[in-house]
Amino acid sequence: MYLKELSELNGVSGNESKVRDFILKKIKEKVDKYWIDKMGNLIVFKKGNGKGKVVLDAHMDEVGFMITKINDDGTFSFMPVGGVDPRVVIGKKVLINDRISAVIGFKAIHLQKEDYLKTPKFSDLKIDAGFKSKEEASKNVSVGDYVSFTTKYKQIGNFATGKAFDDRGGCSILLDLILNDVKSDYDLYFAFVVQEETGLRGAAVVSEQIKPDFAIALECTTAGDNPELGKEHWATHLGDGPALTFLHSGYVIDRKLFEALVSTAKENNIPFQYKRRTAGGTDAARYARSVYGVPAAVVSIPSRYIHSPLSVINLDDYHNTYKLVKIFLEKSPITK
């Protein structure tokens, strides 16, 4: 498992090179072929017995920010890259261009009147790196520079906390499958893709190159089992196993694939759960909407506080997600 190393790398959408380089270094001696396409996707090929072509997809990018303006007082205006709630970023440490430490600031509580009752907009927030003027700040930072969270990975009992589990969790599972030399009758294409968080862009390019018979997106998905929410609002629950999606935004999951994954879990006594809310989307929708109409499924690790500076997963869920996908590939139940 490489979740620690992967999650601590910074790779906001469009800037995934460090994540890609780490993965490539680990796998290049273990596979039949690999290449990096013009979009920046890393595609890794492992030959099977010709039963079909299968894409296993995980996106390398994470949500973050980009500098949009250098202000007269030396602070920076910024905007999110991907879906980030401004309420979860106030007061958080960030890193500009992987080298300049800063903090996301908002008006102090004792200077507010009714502001504290409102959700701030990103235009209300500023990034403060300690520069005293626009001139000083401009010597170190440029408009368009990337900004990442700085959270370090930590294990606490059977739980792990850190940033970017969406989707370094999926990337780590693909690495585990490759490095543990998973055997399959399928020809396997492990696609470590870019820019999922900004429109499922990388997966579209993969589909065009490979024209697979089907695809499986390995994801990290929202849990929703927060203390303040009733069970009727839960999407998934930490500790109940990998989440199998039957429907999400923009796509009804291929029924044949969905039922094959459910059967694999049941036959092998692997705990699993259904993702019970349909909000959000994954690369599965992009494969399905490609010109080839690729059938696709989603297997996810549940995570609390997703798309925030710190997420939480249950490590049993991680290992059971790996086990489910590995056995599915070994059994190769779907024909062309």
pLDDT at 275: 83
Report the 3 state secondary structure along the chain: CCHHHHHHCCCECCCCHHHHHHHHHHHCCCCCEEEECCCCCEEEEECCCCCCEEEEEEECCECEEEEEEECCCCCEEEEEECCCCHHHCCCCEEEECCCEEEEEECCCHHHCCCHHHCCCCHHHCEEECCCCCHHHHHCCCCCCCEEEECCCCEEECCEEEECCHHHHHHHHHHHHHHHCCCCCCCEEEEEEECCCCCCCHHHHHHHHHHCCCEEEEEEEEECCCCCCCCHHHCCCCCCCCCEECCEECCEECCHHHHHHHHHHHHHCCCCCEECCCCCCCCHHHHHHHCCCCCCEEEEEEEEECCCCCCEEEEHHHHHHHHHHHHHHHHHCCCCC
Q: Where are the domains of the chain?
A: 3-62+163-331, 64-149
CATH 2.40.50.140 fits 64-149, yes or no: no
Exposure string for 194-229, b = 16+ CB within 10 A, e = fewer: bbbbbebbbbbbbbeebebbbbbbbbbbbbbbeeee
In sequence order, the β-bridge partners of residue 70 are 76
Cis peptide before 115 (omega within 30 of 0): no
Q: What is the pLDDT of residue 250?
A: 76
Instruction: State residue 49 phi and psi, 5-degree precision.
Output: -110, 20
Q: For residues 202 and 174, what is the distance between their CA atoms, to the nearest angstrom? A: 17
Q: Which residues of 19-40 are buried (b: 16+ CB within 10 A; e: fewer)?
A: bbebbeeebeeebeebeebebb
pLDDT at residue number 314: 97
Of the listed ranges 52-56, 95-99, 118-122, 313-317, the one predicted with least confidence: 118-122
- Convert the pLDDT of each residue in 200-226 to its tens digit: 888 889 999 999 999 999 999 888 777
Q: How confident is the model at residue 322 (pLDDT cuts 50, 70, 90)?
A: very high
From the list 62, 196, 197, 219, the catalytic residue is: 196
Residue whose tokens read 């589909």: 207
Q: In which region does residue 140 sit, left (phi positive, over 0), alpha (psi from -120 to 50) or beta (all else)?
A: alpha
- The band of 278, judged by pLDDT with boundaries at 50, 70 and 90, is low
pLDDT above 70 as % of the chain: 94
- To which residue do tokens 């408009």 refer? 143
Q: Quote the percentage of the chain above a pLDDT of 90.
A: 74
**Which pLDDT value is given to residue 64?**
97
How high is the pLDDT of residue 247?
87
Q: What is the pLDDT of residues 190-199, one digit of tens each?
A: 999 999 889 8
Q: Is the pLDDT at 111 greater than 80, yes or no?
A: no
Residue 288 reports pLDDT greater than 70: yes
Question: 3-62+163-331 sits in which CATH class?
Answer: alpha beta
Mean pLDDT of the chain: 92
Give the model's pLDDT for residue 112.
Answer: 67
* pLDDT digits 0-9 by tens, 117-163: 677 889 999 999 999 999 999 999 999 999 999 999 999 999 999 99
| Pair 56, 191: CB distance under 8 Å | yes
Reply yes or no on whether the pLDDT at 249 is more than 80: no
Alpha carbon distance 238, 129 (integer Å)? 36
Least confident of 16-25, 38-47, 285-294: 285-294
pTM above 0.85, yes or no: yes
Which phi and psi angles does 90 have, rounded to 5°? -65, 130
Query: Any catalytic annotation for residue 197?
Result: no
- Res. 110 pLDDT band, cuts 50 70 90: low
Q: What is the pLDDT of residue 267?
A: 96
The confidence band for 268, taking pLDDT boundaries of 50, 70 and 90, is very high
Whether residue 229 has pLDDT greater than 80: no
Return the number of other C-beta atoms located less than 10 Å from residue 291's C-beta: 9
Mean pLDDT value across residues 33-45: 96
Please state, in angstroms and rounded to a whole number, the distance separating the CA atoms of residues 294 and 286: 9
- Band the pLDDT of 234: cuts 50, 70, 90: confident
Q: Per-residue confidence at 4, pLDDT binned at 50, 70, 90? A: very high
Residues pairing with 59 in the sheet: 193
